[in-house]
A = this chain, B = another copy of it.
Amino acid sequence: MRPSGRATDQLRTVSLEPGFSKYAEGSCLVRFGDTHVLCTASVDETVPRFLKGTGLGWVTAEYGMLPRSTHSRTDREAAKGRQSGRTQEIQRLVGRALRAVTDRAAMGEKQIKVDCDVLQADGGTRTAAITGSYVALHLAFQHLLEIGAIKRMPLTDAVAAVSCGLYQGTAVLDLDYAEDSNAQADANFVLTGNGGIVEIQGTAEEKPFSEAEFNALLGLARKGVDELVALQKAALAVTT
């Protein structure tokens, strides 16, 4: 029934390629099927002004799409001179997701800037970005541990994300573009390895949905995130 032939509760083929970037302190190329996002984590010794002197660190994120990552070309935001509302929404979401599993006192007064750049987009770029960013951030923290810049790992749990939606009346996991552009409703779930909810963003595209439908989506998301967290662990195991 799904355009891709997947089962309703089946993720796309997911791969996490840590260390894709030579220079970043942490990096990961994440692929959810044909959605490919390069995530890099860069250490910055300065914190935003409101944190100066507090002993706390900060994790922030930026997001962008290459102009031809999309099915038809999208205008370059740098050329237009402004980031779209969608871009800002996504990068704020990624930053919040990562901070929710970060002990900022353990970081000390430093900042990690995570860049999520979409090389190819087939739906679900924001959930792929969160999933890959966690790996990049973990690697950057490992690097800081190795050089003695921090004393303990600031990450308190894993975090990953997946979208679910109502497609032709059925709840399905991990929407691709063909599904996303025809879904009755869709929701992005950011969950932790321990099952905590970090963020839920559910939107009725066409008509309102019911609580039962919402619970079905959440159930699928739990299954999907559990699988993503296992992949994150496997990817990080390789690098240490």
A residues in contact (CB < 8 Å) with B: 21-24, 27, 34, 38, 40, 42, 44, 62, 64, 66-73, 76-79, 81-89, 91-92, 96, 100, 113, 115, 117, 119-120, 122, 157, 187, 191-192, 194-204, 207-211, 214, 218
Contacts and interface: CB of A to CB of B under 8 A. Distances in A.
A38 B62 contact: no
Q: Which of A85, A192, A208 has the most CB of B within 10 A?
A: A208
Contacts of A78: 64, 76-78, 82-83, 87
Assembly of this chain: how many copies? 6
A113 B210 CA distance: 28
Nearest to A136: B68
Given A78-B83, A81-B81, A196-B209, A38 B23 contact: no
Contact of A211 (B117, B194, B218): B218
Given A38-B66, A40-B67, A198-B204, 18 more contacts: A21-B69, A21-B119, A21-B120, A23-B69, A23-B120, A40-B66, A42-B68, A66-B117, A68-B115, A77-B78, A88-B88, A88-B89, A187-B200, A191-B208, A196-B210, A197-B210, A199-B202, A200-B214
Contacts of A198: 203-204, 208
B62 A67 contact: yes
Q: Which of A24, A34, A44, A157 has the most CB of B within 10 A?
A: A24
Contacts of A192: 208
A187 B71 CA distance: 34
